[in-house]
Amino acid sequence: MTEGGRGLTGTGGPRRCVERRHFVPVAAPPWNAGLCTKTCGVGVRMRDVKCYQGTDIVRGCDPLVKPVGRQACDLLPCPTEPPDDSCQDQPGTNCALAIKVNLCGHWYYSKACCRSCRPPRS
């Protein structure tokens, strides 16, 4: 192979020029518990990790040295409320549809359809 139009020779005969790229991941930002996808229980938090070659942002980071961009966040357990036997579904709320499309975990439907969304007793 040549470098600047000259062949590379030495005591070992012709040698190849090999260009090696060194990708340096930027210092990853710290994890922030406030950025978890859940407010209680297990969720996921993400951060933006970029790799640089010199001052240029590049793709193809070495996965062995690149910091992770996703992490599980296990916060305090979600509070559980004791079943309220006096709760009634709010009139005008389509609780059957809320159950069918799995909306009982939503704060509004868990209150408006408290009887329909209540877990079965064991």
pLDDT of residue 81: 64
Task: Give the lowest-confidence range in 31-35, 43-47, 65-69, 108-112.
Answer: 31-35
pLDDT at 50: 80
**Cα-based distances in Å from 65 to 28, 32, 36, 53, 59:** 11, 21, 24, 14, 14
The band of 40, judged by pLDDT with boundaries at 50, 70 and 90, is: confident
Joined together, the tokens standing for residue 92 give: 């005008």
The SS3 call for residue 56 is strand
Q: What is the per-residue pLDDT across 85-99, written as a single tens digit (0 to 9) for each?
A: 778 999 999 999 998
Model pTM greater than 0.75?
A: no
List, for residues 3-17, the tens digit of each pLDDT value.
444 444 445 555 444
pLDDT at 18 over 50: no
